[in-house]
Every structure is written in C-alpha cells, then in structure tokens.
Amino acid sequence: MVEETIATYLASNTSLTKGVDLFLADFPPSTREGVVLRLLNIKETSGTLAQANLIIMVFKKDYITGRDLSLTIISTLNNVRGSLDGSWTPFNEIKFNDYGKDELDRYNFTVSCPITF
C-alpha cells in the first residue's frame, strides 16, 4: 500500500509517529488529535503508474500547532517531488485548506497532494 510508504516517509522526516499521532484511514476510537492519511480517486494510467489524490487531515486543539504541522507536511512532501528513487512522487500543486473548528473543538486542516505511484 502506497499510503503505508508515505506514512513511513512522513514519520521519518517529521515529528509524527505512526500509531501515536499518524494514522491510516481513521483515528482509533480513543484518539482525538493527530494526522490521518487517505488515498482518494485512484486511477490507473498507461503503463505501470497509477495516480491518486492523497488527503492528509490534521486535527489539533491548538491552531498554530495544527497550521505549522500542515505546512511542515507540505514542505516534506515537496522534498520528494520528482524523485525517481521512491515508489511515489507528488505532481501538480499541493493544496492547503483551513476548515476552522469542529464539534470536538479541534482545528481542522487538510493537505491535498496528487501523487503518482
């Protein structure tokens, strides 16, 4: 799964730790803050590559912490752009969205990154 590879890359290059504050698909029941990674809109392309939209959702009680973590994730993803030695790479623009607070009083941010893998 490419999302596992990306989670490992983020954990190795940021302060995030898989299973502690970085999760695939959804939070465990007792977790309220952290980062969730999902792949959306996977499509096969010609040859051996596929494309997908990687969505990284950041949920934090503190606005500055959430925003700064989102910007760090963007920078970290950009560092792998165009790399030929990995199994995935971003293409096109990486987008950042600030959705404000949710009903659990957390600030919500998303980083949307189109990837090939």
Host domain of residue 68:
2-116
Report the share of the chain in percent with pLDDT over 90.
Answer: 68
Instruction: Name the pairing type of β-strands 50-60 and 107-116.
Output: antiparallel
pLDDT in tens, 25-81: 999 888 899 999 998 888 876 667 788 999 999 999 999 999 999 999 999 999 998
Task: Return the pLDDT at 46.
Answer: 64
Mean pLDDT over all residues of the chain?
92
The domain that holds 27 is classified in CATH as: 3.30.2000.30
Residue 18 has pLDDT above 80, yes or no: yes
Nearest to 59 by CA among 23, 19, 14: 23
User: Domain total for the chain?
Assistant: 1
- Pairing of β 95-101 and β 50-60: unpaired
| DSSP 8-state code for residue 81 | T
Has this prediction a pTM greater than 0.75? yes
Residue 38: what residue type? Answer: R
